A and B are shown apart, each in its own frame.
Chain A
Amino acid sequence: MLAKQVPDTRNVGPDAMTPEGTVNRSALPAIFNPEDLNALEQALRLKDQFPGSTITVVTMGLPKAADILRDALYRGADDAVLLTDRALGGADTLATSYAISMAIRKIGMPDIIIGGRQAIDGDTAQVGPQVAQKLDIDQVTYVESIDKLCEECRKVTVTRRIDGGVEVVEAPLPCLLTITGSAAPCRPQNAKRVMKFKKAAAPSEGKENAKIEITQWGAADVDADLQQCGLAGSPTKVKAVQNIVFKAKESKQLTGSDTDIESLIVELLDSHTIG
Chain B
Amino acid sequence: MANCYSDRAELRFELNHPLMERIVELKERNYRDKDNYDYAPENFEDAMDSYDRVLDIVGDITATTIADNAEGVDQEGPHHEGHRVRYASGTEANLKAMVQAGMNGMTMPRKYEGLNFPITPYTMCAEIVAHKDAGFGNIWSLQDCVETLYEFGSEDQHQRFIPRICKGETMSMDLTEPDAGSDLQHVMLKATYSEEEGCWLLNGVKRFITNGDADQHLVLARSEEGTKDGRGLSMFIYDKRQGGVNVRRIENKLGIHGSPTCELTYKNAKAELVGSTRMGLIKYVMALMNGARLGIAAQSVGISQACYDEAIAYAKDREQFGKAIINFPAVYDMLSVMKAKLDAGRALLYQTARYVDIYKALDDIERERKANGEKLTAEEREEQKKYAKLADSLTPLAKGMNSEFCNQNAYDCIQIHGGSGFMMEYACQRYYRDARITSIYEGTTQLQVVAGIRYVTNGSYVAQCRDFEKQEVSEAMKPLQQRSILMADKLEEATARVKEAGDQEFLDICARHLYEMAAYSIMGHLIQYNATQQPELFEKSARVFMNYAEAEFIKHYSMVMYLTPESLADYRK
Binding site for B on A (CB under 8 A): 187-196, 198
Binds A, one of B100-108, B177-185, B213-221, B529-537: B100-108
Q: What residues of chain B lie closer than 8 Å to A189, measured between beta carbons? A: 57, 60, 101
A192 touches B97 (CB 8 A): no
A195 near B60 with CB under 8 A, answer no
User: Do B57 and A194 touch across chains, with their CB atoms under 8 A apart?
Assistant: yes
Q: Which residue of B lies closest to A29 (CB)?
A: B1
How many Å from the CB of A11 to the closest CB on chain B? 9
Give the number of chain B interface residues (Cβ < 8 Å). Answer: 19
Q: Please, how many angstroms separate the alpha-carbon atoms of A188 and B61 in the complex?
A: 7
Indicate if B39 sits at the interface (CB-CB under 8 A). yes
28 contacts between A and B (CB under 8 A): A187-B100, A187-B101, A188-B57, A188-B60, A188-B61, A188-B100, A188-B101, A189-B57, A190-B100, A191-B39, A191-B54, A191-B103, A191-B115, A192-B39, A192-B115, A193-B102, A194-B50, A194-B53, A194-B54, A194-B57, A195-B39, A195-B40, A195-B41, A195-B54, A196-B38, A196-B39, A198-B50, A198-B53
Apart from A192-B39, A194-B54, A196-B38, list 5 A-B contacts with CB within 8 A: A188-B65, A191-B101, A191-B102, A192-B102, A192-B115
Contact residues in A for B115 (Cβ distance below 8 Å) = 191-192, 195
- 0 or 1 for each of B17-56: is its CB under 8 Å from A? (1 = yes): 0000000000000000000001111000000011001100
Q: What A residues does B103 contact at CB under 8 A?
A: 191
A191 to chain B: which residues have CB within 8 Å?
A: 39, 54, 57, 101-103, 106, 115
Closest to B41 in A: A195
Could you tell me if B39 and A187 are in contact, using CB atoms closer than 8 angstroms? no
Interface centre among B57, B61, B65, B115 (most CB of A within 10 A): B57
Could you tell me the distance in whole angstroms from the C-beta of B343 to the nearest C-beta in chain A? 28
- A-B CB pair tally, cutoff 8 Å: 45
**CB-defined contacts of A187 to chain B, threshold 8 Å:** 97, 100-101
- In the assembled complex, the CB of B99 is this many whole angstroms from the nearest CB of chain A, namely 10
Q: How far is the CA of A191 from the CA of B41 in the complex (A)?
A: 13
Q: Which residue of A lies closest to B166 (CB)?
A: A192
Which residues does chain B contribute within 8 Å of A195, judged by CB atoms? 39-41, 50, 53-54, 115
Shortest Cβ distance from A191 into B: residue: B102
A190 to B99: give the CA distance in the assembly, Å.
Answer: 9
Per-residue CB contact flags for chain B residues 216-243 toward chain A (1 = under 8 Å, else 0) read 0000000000000000000000000000
CA distance in complex: A193, B100 (Å): 11
Give the chain B neighbours of A192 by CB distance below 8 A.
39, 102, 115
As a 0/1 sequence over residues 403 to 437 of chain B, the CB contacts with chain A under 8 angstroms (1 = contact) are 00000000000000000000000000000000000
Question: In the complex, what residues of B have CB within 8 A of residue A193's CB?
Answer: 39, 102
Return the CB mask of B82-117 against A: 1 if under 8 Å, else 0.
000000000000000100111100100000000100
How many Å from the CB of B510 to the closest CB on chain A?
47
Residue in B closest to A188 when the chains form the complex, CB atoms: B101
A188 contacts across to B, CB distance below 8 A = 57, 60-61, 65, 97, 100-101
Q: Shortest Cβ distance from A6 into chain B, in angstroms?
A: 14
Q: From A187, which residue of chain B is reached at the shortest CB distance?
A: B100
Closest 7 CB pairs of A and B: A195-B39, A191-B102, A188-B101, A192-B39, A196-B38, A187-B100, A196-B39
Complex Cα–Cα for A193 and B40 (A): 11
Within the complex, the shortest CB–CB distance from B550 to chain A, in Å, comes to 43
Chain A residue numbers with a CB within 8 Å of B102 are 190-193
| Chain B stretch 299-335: residues in CB contact (< 8 A) with chain A | none
Contacts of B60 in A (CB 8 A): 188-189
Contacts of B57 in A (CB 8 A): 188-189, 191, 194
- CA gap between A192 and B97 in the complex, in Å: 14
Shortest CB distance A224–B (Å)? 34
List chain A residues, Cβ under 8 A from B53. 194-195, 198
Q: Across the two chains, which residue of chain A brings its CB closest to B50?
A: A195
Query: Nearest Cβ in chain A — how far from B139, in angstroms?
Result: 17
Contacts of B49 in A (CB 8 A): 198
Cα separation A195 to B102 with both chains bound (whole Å): 11
Complex alpha-carbon distance, A185 and B174, angstroms: 36
Shortest CB–CB separation between residue B211 and chain A, in angstroms?
22
Chain A hits for B40, CB < 8 A? 195
Q: Tell me, in angstroms, the Cα distance from A196 to B53 when the chains sit together.
A: 12
- Closest CB of chain B to A194's CB: distance in Å? 5
Bound-complex Cα distance A196 to B50 (A)? 9
Determine how close the nearest CB of chain A comes to the CB of B160; give it in whole angstroms. Answer: 21
Residues of A within 8 A of B54 (CB): 191, 194-195
User: Smallest CB–CB gap between B62 and chain A, Å?
Assistant: 10
Cα A192 to Cα B104 in complex, Å, equals 11
Q: What sequence of 0s and 1s flags, for each residue 326-348 of chain B, a beta carbon within 8 Å of any chain A beta carbon?
A: 00000000000000000000000
Min CB–CB distance A247 → chain B (angstroms): 30
Contacts of B97 in A (CB 8 A): 187-188
Q: How far is the CA of A196 from the CA of B40 in the complex (A)?
A: 8
